[in-house]
A and B are shown apart, each in its own frame.
Chain A
Amino acid sequence: MRRSDLTGPRLVAVFLLGSVLLNYPILAIFTRPERVAGIPLLHAYAFGAWLLLIGLMAWVVESRRG
């Protein structure tokens, strides 16, 4: 199994990004009674950031043999 040397560091970067995005204080910015396309802002943000992380992980992992 050949691995790009950057896969590990990239995934750690995703982890760090996620730790920041989905925690206080960034999370506190979105605790407002507003709605995006009918969905509460906090809810929309949390799921959006979550999806972003999954997308990044998929990209990093699937491009490792490139």
Chain B
Amino acid sequence: MLQGWVIVLVSFAYLGVLFAIAAHGDRRAEAGRSIIANPYIYALSLAVYCTTWTFYGSVGRAASTGIGFLPVYLGPTLMAALWWYVMRKIIRITKAQRITSIADFVASRYGKSQLLGGLVTVIAVVGVVPYVALQLKAISNSLSILLDYPALVMPASAAEVPVVGDSALWVAILLAAFAVLFGTRHLDATERHEGLVAAIAFESLVKLVAFLAVGAFVTFGVYQGFGDLFRRAAEVPRLEALMTVPAGGGFGTWASVTLLSMLAILFLPRQFQVAVVENVDEDHLAKATWLFPLYLLLINVFVLPLALGGLLRFAGLGVDADFFVLALPMVERQEALALLAYLGGLSAGTGMVIVETIALSTMVCNDLVMPVLLRLRWAGLHQRPDLSGLLIVIRRLAIATIMLLAFVYFRVAGEAYALVAIGLISFAAVAQFAPAILGGLYWRAATRAGAAAGLTAGFAVWAYTLLLPSFARSGWLPQSFLTEGPLGLWLLRPQELFGLSGLDAIPHGVLWSMLANVGMYVGVSLAGRPSYQETTQAALFVDVFRHTQGLERTPRTVGSATAATLLPVVGRFLGPERAREAFQAYARRRGAASPEDLAADAGLVQFAEAQLAGAIGGASARVVVASVVQEEPPGLDEVMDILDEASQVRAYSKELEQKSRQLEAATAGLRAANERLQELDRLKDDFMSTVTHELRTPLTSIRAFSEILLDDPRTHLAERTRFLSIIVKETERLTRLINQMLDMAKIESGNAEWRAAVLDLGEVIEASVEATGQLFRERGVALSLELPGPAPRVRADRDRLMQVLINLLSNAVKFCEPGRGRVVVRLAAEGGGARVDVRDNGPGIRRADQEVIFEKFRQVGDADGGKPRGTGLGLPISRRIVEHFGGRLWVESEPGQGATFSFQLPVEPAPAAG
């Protein structure tokens, strides 16, 4: 039944079934009843990881290295345990930012950088091309082997076949057409393909069933179970070795391949596509965490038995171990099983090629071609009302180009390597994304420059140590490039760089490329400083679980535009109807009747950018939207948003410090006020005791003399008169004291009566001197007047002014030594006023006390520390009187030199001559 036409017919029928499934999936998705919205389909779609490399290549690898095929599947198993943290975060970010590919992811993380998006795209395309070539080789070889049935002929080397006659070319064209039909039928804003995922899940089932069927047939049909098979293999010494030591580089290769496959399961473009972009529900990841490794385990159970079975069966027949899976059923004449095996290989290959090329074409279109077109021919694109057709054309061309490159690589280098070796080169390429992405998930300070430098360095070293040697091996570059180094530079031999020998090509290339990548990434990041845009995106990525409760994130793009401006822009890329629908749905969500009713706010811009991001990638979307949006500089709110907690804490602590300083100041003020109050309290007490003392002295004497008069009625008249006169004098003193206190209180409260008149100052002085003359004579103090010519006239209350002068004169006489005292009163015109000095030759007043004496109730002892005399009100009252009439009163004194009390009053202008 294995005629050529049957095989071709079955092949096309199989592809037709895939189409039917995909169409069904798309229809169900449009109806809102998704068939892929469960964790089992999700886990099966992840198995797109298992390509023809797994289906054919694992057995080939096992045939040469025994258990060495296993790390490629152990790595993803280990990584699955970390998905909980890593993958969940990537999925959350991707949904929140509407990211469509791995290039978009890196570009968005580092401030929506078009440069990085392009760089990642180039690395992905160049890195994955060998992997696609691997599928071409496997499918075309398996087809040609099966077509030769019943003979078992290994396909001729590609070099011996003309290009047009090479079945790989036709396979490449067919696969390209298939991928174009599948992946780019229409443009979707989210880049999700439900039907495709359903078809991929189906393919995963087919290849698993096919492989298990062949494995079970060989193990239990040809041999009598595992025990029999292994026992018979153990009889051959070479096969015995395969069962023990992991040959082919030993544990170094083992560990490095494990690491590579851990990273590949995250960063291969097709894995990112199915695991992240096509993910329906974050929750599906949990079950896939163990379902996917289980799938890997199942598909590997029969690898070693098949390898050993093949080696036993085909010993010396020259059958390529990579195709034992197909050759074993053929040689056993199991036609149906051989056809199933071929279909399994076909499903593994098509699944990989379709998803990989679609993912790559999205990247090429969004992150490489569109940014360039938008820059170079913006005017040209601007005139086209609908760009969605152009986008689809670009993607189809991208798919065709990638397939062409794969075919070229297959012709140039594919023959020199086994399937697995080609695949590992691709793994090492996508592993270069690891530092930029994993670092970007957790390290805020990573910068765009750092990511670009790391990617570039890692990619360059990868190309030098792994890609170029693959060309050299196939004779495309001279062999001396490997053995002697470029231009004979021995240290630069690509597979023993800097003389590092003893490692296999893969661990060697991984070591150097990762060293360069991580070193540059960390070093350049630390040397620079992230920009505002980078910091914002870093916060959105690193703290994604804090920002996203649901999936709507708070708008961060600042700027605004109306729906009327945005709709045509989005429409150009998505198609006018699609854009209209999307805006309509958004308007309904926001409670508006139509898009035109929407407020022109940042949320709308955000929405438009997200729609565009789905079609042309985040970086390009930003450029397009920015062209119509009035971007505003970030407001205080946005800036505050991106401040991290530490700076908030710093602000709080600063505030606290300030508050505590204010408190300290307030406390100091209170303390000062308190001290002042205590001082005043003490002054009041002092005054009370002074006043009481002053009052008691006259009272005591009045009482004593009154009692004498009362007790002894026979006192002489003369005595009686003397006593009575003392009583009268003391009473006067009392009255004076009380009057002064009342006087002071009146002046202070502003109730005093003033009778202002123009006075002759000389006359007032003479009157005052006369009034105190008796006092001077009693104490034997000399008084002299110095009154020059016509005395100046001042405006004042005569009685008050006399009060001042009498007070000053009596003070002077009080402090002069009796008998030797000398007081001089001097009147002089000075400036615009009249000045009166009263100078004595008493003990003087200490400088420190010269202001104190003008305070109420403050008396100062003599310079020699004697007891104060007087009421303590005379000087304060005098000063207030002088000040009332616009003058001032002060004292000048040196201890021991006497004191001069002076006051000055403004002169009243002389009345007009008349």
Contact = CB atoms under 8 A, between A and B. Distances in A.
Contacts of A43: 67, 243, 304
A66 to B, nearest CB: 13
Contact of A51 (B243, B289, B297): B297
Nearest to B282: A1
B775 to A, nearest CB: 101
Nearest to A35: B230
Given A38-B225, A38-B227, A51-B297, A61 B287 contact: yes
Given A32-B244, A61-B287, A39 B251 contact: no
Contacts of A57: 80-81, 289-290, 293
Interface stretch (B70-78, B658-666, B806-814): B70-78
B862 interface: no
B254 A24 contact: yes
Contacts of B290: 54-55, 57-58, 61
A33 B242 CA distance: 10
A64 B286 contact: yes
Contact of A61 (B77, B225, B286, B301): B286
B244 A33 contact: yes
Interface in B470-492: none
Interface in A7-51: 7-8, 11-12, 14-15, 18-19, 22-24, 27-28, 31-33, 35, 37-43, 46-47, 50-51
B81 A53 contact: yes
Contacts of A47: 297, 301
Given A46-B70, A58-B290, A23 B297 contact: no
B679 to A, nearest CB: 66
Contacts of A55: 290
A22 B297 CA distance: 14
Interface in B242-258: 243-246, 251, 254-255, 258
Contacts of A31: 244-246
B78 A19 contact: yes
Given A22-B74, A38-B230, A54-B294, A12 B81 contact: yes
Interface in B287-336: 287, 289-290, 293-294, 297, 301, 304
A15 to B, nearest CB: 4
Interface residues of A, number: 37
A23 to B, nearest CB: 6
B82 interface: yes
B252 to A, nearest CB: 9
Contacts of A32: 244
A23 B259 CA distance: 11
A59 to B, nearest CB: 9
Contacts of A62: 287
Contact of A54 (B77, B79, B254, B301): B77
Q: Most chain-A Cβ atoms within 10 A of its Cβ — which of B78, B82, B83?
A: B78
Nearest to B231: A38
A22 B640 CA distance: 48
Contacts of A50: 74, 77, 293, 297
A39 B230 contact: yes
Contacts of B67: 42-43, 46
Q: Most chain-B Cβ atoms within 10 A of its Cβ — which of A32, A33, A55?
A: A33
Interface string B259-298: 0000000000000000000000011001101100110010
A41 B282 CA distance: 39
Contacts of B286: 61, 64
Nearest to B233: A40
Contact of B251 (A19, A24, A37): A24
Nearest to B240: A33
Contacts of B78: 15, 18-19, 22, 53
Given A24-B254, A33-B240, A8 B84 contact: yes
B532 interface: no
Contacts of B287: 61-62
A22 B591 CA distance: 57
A41 B230 CA distance: 11
A10 to B, nearest CB: 9
Contacts of A33: 234, 240, 243-244
Contacts of A53: 77-78, 81, 293
A15 B77 CA distance: 9
Nearest to A1: B283
Given A18-B78, A54-B77, A57-B293, A23 B244 contact: no
B652 interface: no
Nearest to B281: A1
A4 B830 CA distance: 97
B5 interface: no
Nearest to A65: B286
Contacts of B82: 11-12, 15
A57 B246 CA distance: 26
B234 to A, nearest CB: 8
Contacts of A64: 286
A8 B254 CA distance: 27
B509 to A, nearest CB: 20
Contacts of B240: 33
Contacts of B301: 47
A39 B837 CA distance: 130
A39 B227 contact: yes
B378 interface: no
Contacts of B255: 23-24
B231 A40 contact: no
Contacts of A7: 84
Nearest to B285: A61
Q: Most chain-A Cβ atoms within 10 A of its Cβ — which of B80, B290, B304?
A: B290
Interface string B61-97: 0000011001000100111111111000000000000
Q: Most chain-A Cβ atoms within 10 A of its Cβ — which of B228, B231, B240, B304?
A: B304
Contact of B81 (A1, A14, A42): A14
A50 B77 CA distance: 8
B226 interface: yes
Interface in B22-77: 66-67, 70, 74, 77
Contacts of A27: 246, 251, 254
Contacts of B70: 46
Interface of A: 1, 7-8, 11-12, 14-15, 18-19, 22-24, 27-28, 31-33, 35, 37-43, 46-47, 50-51, 53-55, 57-58, 61-62, 64
Q: Which 3 residue pairs across A and B have the least CB separation, nearest first?
A: A38-B227, A40-B243, A15-B81
Given A1-B282, A47-B301, A54-B77, 14 more contacts: A11-B82, A14-B81, A15-B78, A18-B77, A24-B251, A39-B230, A40-B243, A42-B66, A46-B70, A46-B74, A50-B293, A57-B80, A61-B286, A64-B286
15 contacts: A11-B85, A15-B81, A15-B82, A19-B78, A23-B258, A24-B251, A33-B244, A35-B227, A37-B226, A38-B226, A38-B227, A42-B66, A42-B244, A55-B290, A58-B294
Interface of B: 66-67, 70, 74, 77-85, 225-228, 230-231, 234, 240, 243-246, 251, 254-255, 258, 282-283, 286-287, 289-290, 293-294, 297, 301, 304
